[in-house]
Amino acid sequence: MKKLVLSLSIVAALAASAHAGETFEITIKDHRFSPSEIEIPANEQISLVVKNQDGTPEEFEGEDFDAEKVISGNSEATILVGPFEPGEYAFVGEFHEDSAKGKLIAK
């Protein structure tokens, strides 16, 4: 019985994380994010698919929120973030902070 409860708990947790709301794509190219500003729904968890088209790794890092993920060159990663109250939330590419900047705008 304990195994069944544990299995159901794992399935429920995976289903909840898989249902993260909308998905938004961000591309890293030439050490810049595109788009650099993304309007997202407030008060909802979302998925960010970050595609690194550069040949070198980049670290996606939330300045105003908890998110940190190294994305290898020529690869992608999905990052769950939020929910956010209405406002603006900055993020950077930590390896190229001078050029890799962006923000999420929760409305």
| pTM for this entry | 0.80
Residues 6+ apart with CB under 8 A from 4: none
Closest C-alpha to 104, from 71, 52, 62: 62
Q: Give the model's confidence band at 6: pLDDT under 50 very low, under 70 low, under 90 confident, else very high.
A: very low
Q: What is the pLDDT at residue 1? A: 58
Q: pLDDT tens digits for 41-52? A: 999 999 999 999
Residue whose structure tokens are 């698919």:
49
Strand partners, 89: 104
The 8-class DSSP code of residue 67 comes to -
DSSP three-state, residue 90: strand
- Per residue in 37-95, pLDDT (tens digit) is 999 999 999 999 999 999 999 999 999 999 999 999 999 999 999 999 999 999 999 99
Strand-strand pairing, 58-62 and 87-93:
antiparallel
Enumerate domains of the chain plus CATH numbers. 22-106 (2.60.40.420)
pLDDT at 24 over 90: yes
* Pairing outcome for strands 37-40 and 101-106: parallel
